[in-house]
């Protein structure tokens, strides 16, 4: 009979299903229900640098003495961090599966101390999200990628638990960055983070939020880049994120080279009961294919011939459309 055990970022998971950082993982009660539903690991809702800075700026009175304003800013930071550390501690008490802390940041500040305290609180790993668009007309090529490396290397000097880097899909060459992240100590990468989706109301002539949930069409990006990167940089682990809405999607991600998947939208829309459905499908599919372990088919369909045709790139695109009449 198949076993669904997998290893991701040096952590042993009972199955490859990880709940990604979201409102689904922002309380001890929700996390316990997810554990009981059968998930393999939990990524806690992110501690957002921007949220802390915005709230601190809002509380800071520009007419106040600088010392008083600084005090309020520091108070907000420490209050948010204390709440987060409590979430880690209490979740670990009721969830005997990997609990991954999450930091969403865009600057190389503060996070070294935060990461150390998260480790002390009991987090099994830390996921770093550096989610930002580069729109400055004076932007220096490569500086955004370097920021990932700098933040990672600074945090790695102070903590021993695994560091997972969750990347956005706005990178020119994810493979080069992933290789550098591995060289600087990353245990795993997650492809990809999901940006805010904008829309426009043409009747009221204003900007509005787009669809908050992912669709299955988004999975293709993760399959492509995991399929390429897992063959080229094969000494760290990969997780697919974005567009995973069915058990078949989990199988696809593993075949492309992922050790695990991060799921959010599907659980929002379909409830925790989906976890059991996914697990049953994985067991049946693996038994039907004669697969006893996840490792047996992980990366089976990534790019094999590194010097030959890359089936995830343009040659396959041309072949696809040449057959269309």
The mean pLDDT value for 50-56 works out to 54
Span of 3-17, 111-125, 151-165, 235-249 with lowest mean pLDDT:
111-125
Considering the domain boundaries, does residue 114 fall inside one? yes
If you search the block for the tokens 């229900």, which residue do you land on?
A: 33
Which pLDDT value is given to residue 312?
A: 65
Q: Which residue has the higher pLDDT, 215 or 41?
A: 41
Considering the domain boundaries, does residue 292 fall inside one? yes
Which pLDDT value is given to residue 308?
A: 56
Q: Which residue has the higher pLDDT, 136 or 62?
A: 136
Residue 163 has pLDDT above 80, yes or no: yes
Separation of alpha carbons 148 and 107, rounded Å: 9
The mean pLDDT value for 74-86 works out to 77
Considering the domain boundaries, does residue 116 fall inside one? yes
Considering the domain boundaries, does residue 1 fall inside one? no
Most confident among 106-110, 210-214, 313-317 (mean pLDDT): 210-214
Q: What is the mean pLDDT of the chain?
A: 86
The mean pLDDT value for 49-59 works out to 53
The mean pLDDT value for 88-99 works out to 98
Which pLDDT value is given to residue 69?
A: 47
Which pLDDT value is given to residue 110?
A: 63
Domain that holds residue 97: 6-322
Phi, psi of 146 (to 5 degrees): -65, -30
Span of 30-34, 216-220, 225-229, 275-279 with lowest mean pLDDT:
216-220
Separation of alpha carbons 40 and 185, rounded Å: 23
Residue 42 has pLDDT above 90, yes or no: yes
Residue 247 has pLDDT above 60, yes or no: yes
**Tally of CB atoms within 10 A around 133:** 10
Separation of alpha carbons 260 and 13, rounded Å: 9
Decide the pairing of beta strands 41-43 and 17-19.
parallel
Phi, psi of 176 (to 5 degrees): -60, -45
Separation of alpha carbons 294 and 275, rounded Å: 17
Look at the chain and report how many structural domains it folds into. Answer: 1
- What confidence category does residue 139 fall into, taking pLDDT thresholds of 50, 70 and 90? low
Tokens found for residue 238: 């990969």
Q: Which residue has the higher pLDDT, 166 or 139?
A: 166
3-class DSSP string for 293-313 = CHHHHCCCCCCCCCCCCCCCC
Q: Which residue has the higher pLDDT, 315 or 1?
A: 1
Q: Which residue has the higher pLDDT, 82 or 64?
A: 82
CATH number at residue 145: 3.20.20.70
Span of 22-26, 47-51, 73-77, 229-233 with lowest mean pLDDT:
73-77
Q: Which residue has the higher pLDDT, 249 or 139?
A: 249
Considering the domain boundaries, does residue 291 fall inside one? yes
Task: Give pTM, 2 decimals.
Answer: 0.87
Which pLDDT value is given to residue 73?
A: 57
């Amino acid at each position: 009979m198949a076993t669904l055990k997998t290893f991701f970022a040096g952590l042993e998971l009972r199955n490859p299903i990880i709940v990604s950082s979201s409102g689904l993982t922002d309380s001890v009660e929700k996390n316990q229900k997810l554990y009981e539903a059968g998930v393999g690991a939990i990524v806690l809702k992110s501690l957002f640098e921007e949220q802390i800075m915005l709230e601190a700026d809002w509380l800071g009175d520009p007419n106040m003495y600088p010392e008083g304003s600084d005090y309020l800013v520091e108070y907000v930071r420490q209050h948010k961090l204390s709440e987060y550390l409590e979430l880690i501690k209490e979740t670990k008490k009721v969830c005997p599966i990997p609990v991954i802390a999450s930091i969403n940041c865009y600057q190389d500040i503060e996070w070294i101390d935060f990461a150390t305290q998260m480790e002390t609180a009991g987090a099994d790993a830390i996921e770093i999200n550096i989610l930002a668009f580069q729109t400055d007309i004076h932007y220096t090529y490569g500086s955004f990628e370097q920021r990932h490396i700098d933040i990672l290397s600074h945090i790695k000097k102070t903590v021993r638990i695994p560091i997972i880097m969750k990347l956005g899909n706005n990178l020119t060459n994810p493979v080069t960055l992933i290789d550098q992240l591995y060289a600087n100590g990353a245990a795993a990468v997650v492809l990809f983070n999901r940006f805010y989706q904008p829309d426009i109301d043409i009747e009221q002539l204003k900007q509005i939020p787009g669809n908050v949930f992912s669709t299955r069409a988004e999975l293709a990006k993760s399959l492509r880049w995991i399929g390429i990167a897992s063959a080229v940089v094969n000494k760290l682990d990969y997780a697919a994120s974005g567009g995973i809405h069915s058990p078949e999607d989990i199988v696809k991600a593993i075949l492309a080279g992922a050790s695990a998947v991060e799921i959010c939208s599907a659980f929002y829309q379909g409830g925790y009961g989906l976890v059991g459905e996914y697990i049953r499908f994985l067991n049946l599919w693996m038994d039907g294919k004669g697969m006893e372990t996840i490792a047996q088919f992980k990366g089976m369909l990534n790019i094999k011939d590194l010097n030959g045709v890359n089936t995830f790139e343009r040659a396959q695109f041309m072949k696809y459309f040449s057959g269309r009449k």
